[in-house]
Structure formats: structure tokens, C-alpha cells
Chain A
Amino acid sequence: MIVVLPPALAGEGLDRLRALFEHAGWSAASSVGEEQTVFVVDGPASAGDVEALLPPEIDADVVPILSREAYARIRRRRRLLTGLAVGLALLVVFAVVVPVVGYLEPPEGSFEAPVARVGDLRANAAKRIQVGGEPALLVRDGAELRALSATCTFAGGCLLEWDAVRRALVCPLHDIAYDLFGQPVHGPASEPLRVFPVRRVDDRIYVEARP
């Protein structure tokens, strides 16, 4: 065992400690340094035995001298525990960073101000709106509101217009017409238009960018 003592303890106090150790049947050698005084005690079974012997007013650390194997075992265990602690810390950091980054990532179709008020739209009329930066048409069909992409799915993607007489979204260039469900009903187009969900809150109309 190595007993580390405060530097103040020297001379007589040291002799008294040595006598104490030798009385217990242990051999003891001391070294007085500037920072601390060190005792090397040979014989006791455990650090607890030495600590039990020391007078309570002495502030000492008792450190066992380990065999090479015991020390290697402790180092292995320490490495394992450090690894586990680091792994756990990384896991915690990961569990915090992933939701925060996902949360801050701009969601698809970010929340935009209402595209229109109910009073803005006459029956069987349309209003040009932007949904997620894309041109779209908001059509009032009786009491129902429908939002459709205004980009034609046929060659080139012309800007569609609302034809109140045919009740269709039309492309004058290719003579294409889509119904209010976005299905092509006339002309060479075969792909349907994107239809966006519409919600009304009081008199405000919101269009979600997700189809």
C-alpha cells in the first residue's frame, strides 16, 4: 500500500505513524517531498486495513500497489467502461440532434398565409394562386373549393386557364381540357393534374402543397 499524506506531517508525526504500522506487524518506509509525504507499507491485506489504523484527524489517501495482472485487468475494465460511456453519450447526442435537425428542416409545403378569403371568390370562378412556388388555380365549384396545378402535363407544360363555360382547365395551345378532378377530358394529354387539399378555417382558405 502507498499512503499519501499532507506535507505538514513530518518528523515526530511521521515517527508516530511508522510506530503504528510496525506495531501492526507491517514494514513501512517513508519519503518526505515538497508536495506530499509518501509511506510505502508492506504487509496489510487491503487498503481498508490501513485506513482503519490511521488516526481520523489525518487526511490521507491509501492506494494499493497492484500486480501487473491486476493493473492490466483494471485498465481493461476502465477502457471498456470509457468506451461504453462515450457510446452512450454519442447515442444521446444522436437522439437529440436527429429530431432537432429534422424539425428545423423546412417541411414540404411550408406553412403559408391563406391563399384567399371566401369572399374573394364568386361561384364558378377561379383565382390564380401559388402553391409551393408553383402556379395553381383555386376554383369555386358551387360551395366546394378545389385547388389544381395550373401547369399542363403535356409537352412543355403550358399555363392553364379556367374556362367558366366548359367548367374546365384549358390549354389553348394544344386544345387540352382537364376536369375539376384534374383528369384530362379533351386533347392529347394523358397524365392528370396535381390536386391539392384545400382547407377552410373561418373565412380563410389554405392550400397544402402536398398532393
Chain B
Amino acid sequence: MNARARELRPRSLLWEALRRPVGPHHRGWLAFGWLLLLVLILEAVSGCLLAVYYRASSEAPESLRFLMREVDWGWLVRGLHRWGSQALLAIALAAGLRELVARGWRGSRGVLWLLGLLVVLVLFASDLTGMLLRWDEPAYQTTRAVLARVEALPGVGAPLAAVLGGATKVAPATIGRVYAAHVFLLPFVLGAAVVAAVWYAGRRWRSRGGAA
């Protein structure tokens, strides 16, 4: 194919990513980034579906029981969301380990390394808040333990625990905050970090003529 005809082709990132051959040394590893994006989309979709039936109040366990037993496919949607979150962490940590071994934090890949670090932190926070949303006995105990640790921080501890928990003790006021963080704040930060990473990786990849 000649250069002119190639110029006319749609130059979207995805199109090029699908067309261009990848160097043999990253072939398997590049899949991690895309896999992460795919599972993130799965989490977003299944999360939206869960929000249809979930109640962020003291009725939370009851609404989950209803979801699992009465709603058609409720077990599937909840299972996808739950195991997807575990898969996300596993994939993110594996990708991070690979970058660590390959010294991916150096040079212009350092931006991606930092964004990846932010993604992993937000994933951990999402996992924690997601677990608390079940609002059963283990969730309650975990919330108490987390708030107690926050409260033990010197200086800012007590007011920070009050802001995060909505009360000095775990109360129904806590669940609203946990819910808001899990479905609004954290996904927003995560989405921004992922969009920035994909944009930066694409720009960098083009400027280097297709080399990762």
C-alpha cells in the first residue's frame, strides 16, 4: 500500500492499535492495559445495574438479599461486579509488577507509571468502599476498624474520621458517604486517570512510530 492511501485511512488510536504489528517482546504484556480497560467497562456497566436495586441505607442488606433471590440474573450482575473488582486488582498489580521489573517508571513512561499508581490506589479504595456497602457484620467491623485507624492519626485524625464516617461511631450516616465515594467520587477519579493514561500512551506511541 502506498503512503498516500495510508494517509487517507482513519487514524484513530484504536484502529492503529489493531492494525500495527507489536514488537515480540511486549506482545503478551500490552494485553494487560487493554484488559484493564475492558474489565473497568464491565465494572461500570454492572455497577450501574446494581444501583438500580441497591439502597444506601440501613436497608442495604435487605436490598441485596432481594437482588440475589428475587431479581432475575441479580446473582450474575452482582457476581460480575464483585469478581470483576478482584480481577481488576489482580490485573493492575500484575501490570504494575511488570512495569517495575521492566523499569517502566523511567523516562517518558514515568507519567504512565504515576497514573497507574493512582489507578491502583483508587482501585483499593473502591474495593474497600464496595465491601462496606454490603453493610453486614464484617462490613460493619471493617468500617469501625478503618475509622479507628483514621482517628488514631495525629492531629487531623478525629475531624477526618468525623468527615469520612459522618459520625464518631459507625452509623447509618456512614453508608451514604461510603456510597457517594464508591459510585461518584472514586469512579470519577479513576475515569480521569484512565482517560489521561490512554491519551498519553497513544500520543507517546504515535510520536515513537508505533513502539511501546
Contact = CB atoms under 8 A, between A and B. Distances in A.
Q: Do A and B come from one complex?
A: yes
Interface of A: 4-7, 35-36, 59-61, 99-100, 102-105, 107-111, 113-114, 201, 204, 206, 208, 210
B102 interface: no
Nearest to B67: A111
B2 A5 contact: yes
A26 to B, nearest CB: 22
B1 A61 contact: yes
Contacts of A7: 2, 4
Contacts of A109: 70
A6 B61 contact: no
Interface residues on B, range: 20 to 34
Among all A-B residue pairs, the 5 with the closest Cβ atoms: A6-B2, A102-B72, A111-B66, A99-B73, A103-B73
Tell me the dominant secondary structure on chain B's binding face.
helix
Contacts of A35: 2, 4-5
B121 interface: no
B71 interface: yes
19 contacts: A4-B1, A35-B5, A36-B2, A36-B4, A36-B5, A59-B2, A60-B2, A61-B1, A99-B73, A100-B73, A103-B52, A103-B71, A103-B72, A104-B52, A107-B70, A111-B55, A204-B59, A206-B62, A208-B70
Nearest to B76: A99
Contacts of A204: 59, 62
